[in-house]
Every structure is written in structure tokens, then in C-alpha cells.
Chains A and B, each alone.
Chain A
Amino acid sequence: DIQMTQSPSTLSASVGDTVTITCRASQSISSWLAWYQQKPGKAPRLLIYKTSNLETGVPSRFSGYGSGTEFTLTIAKLQPDDFATYYCQQYNSYVGLTFGGGTKVQI
């Protein structure tokens, strides 16, 4: 199994800040990485696929970068609606899809 490690696990920020979440894979996954946003009691929402491609309808203040084993999700100028938990997910192989442990972005 490919292990995905996110950091930090919790991030405190204010409206208007720019924040970056890191996701590291235990082996190379090329660019096969997605990011999701989840709010309490709700299903995850796809934000980014293939490292840096924004899903339709996702604001441009979200951006993704990386390749191989290290990836980042940056949220520029945090809005109140952005306070949530974020997960990365690798899809290098359908035999074992794995998620990171999550990063909670809180006020």
C-alpha cells in the first residue's frame, strides 16, 4: 500500500490568509493525486485532480502543485467557507487507493 502523510494535521488561520497543506507519498505516484474538502456531516467534495487540475466550479484561489512524492494544496485569501478538513488521495493504482489523514483548517 502507498501511505499518504499530510501535514499539518491542524492549521489555524484567519480570513484573508494564504495557507499551504503538504501531502507526502511513501513512493512515487507521478501526478496521480486528488484533493478533497469536507465539512462536518457532509460528503467530501472534489477540489483538484491530477495534482493541479481544478474541478469545475472550484474557486481559483485553490491551487495544487507537486509530483512524485511531495504535493501541496494552497488556498489563497481564505474565505469563511474554506474552513473545513482537507484530504489528499493517491490513485497511482486502482488496487490500492489511499487517502491522507486530513488537515483541519480552523479559525
Chain B
Amino acid sequence: RLQLQESGPALVKPSETLSLICDVSGASLSGTSYYWGWIRQAPGKGLEWIGGISYSWTTYDNPSLKSRVTISLDTSKNQFSLRLSSVTAADTAVYFCARDGSNFGYFDLWGPGAPVTVSS
């Protein structure tokens, strides 16, 4: 059964780049035709879509994040990644990776989430 697991530093300094990886297990990324996404949730707040990537490497990101987002696929490691540059305290959140199994834009499988704090 396919599972997702986020990993990366729990603490990032202001102005630096946040980097997270989502490990995909139970299926080969190169053998699927899904879209993959990143969503975050600030403490006590709602869900915010960060961006996503298709199986053909087309990327999409939230315009409100002002081009700070880079999402990539690494099929050799069976993972996809998120980089968010120039972080501030407002980027403190739990970051979820997720699968869009329909390729329409909703998420049917989620990782457990990785908390990230931006602080000096």
C-alpha cells in the first residue's frame, strides 16, 4: 500500500531556505501517473496549498507565495521535494505532502506531516 512520509529540518532560520522531502513507499514514482502536492497548516490555522508537480514534471505553485517555491521529483530515490526560500516566521507550520490520485486537484493520500519552525 502506498505511503508518504515527510522529512527535513524542524528548525530553519529567517531568510534561509526550507527544504523538505516526501518519501513515497509502496509504489514506484516512475510507474505512476499521479500528481503530487505540498500543503501546510500554520499553528491553529487552516490548510494552505503550497504547490504541486505532475508525473510529467509540470509544476504549479500558489501565487501568494511569490515565486519562493520550488518543487521537484526524484524518481531514482522515489521522492519529491519542496524548497521554500526567504522564510519568515509566517512560514512556521506543519507541512504535509500528499497525492492527487485523480490528477484533478484533490488529495486522497497524505503524509503525517512535518512541523517546521522558523526562528533564529
Asked if B63 is at the interface (CB within 8 A of a chain A CB), the reply is: yes
The interface on chain A, measured as residues whose beta carbon lies within 8 A of the other chain's beta carbons, has a size of 26
Number of interface residues of B (CB under 8 A): 23
Contact of B46 among A34, A42, A99 (CB under 8 A): A99
**A94 pairs with B110, CB closer than 8 A:** no
B57 touches A (CB below 8 Å) = no
Give residues 20-68 of B contacting A (CB, 8 Å).
35, 37, 46-49, 52, 60, 62-64
Contacts of B108 in A (CB 8 A): 46, 49, 55
Residue numbers in B under 8 Å from A49 (CB-CB): 102, 104, 106, 108
Interface residues of B (CB under 8 A from A): 35, 37, 46-49, 52, 60, 62-64, 96, 98, 102, 104-108, 110-113
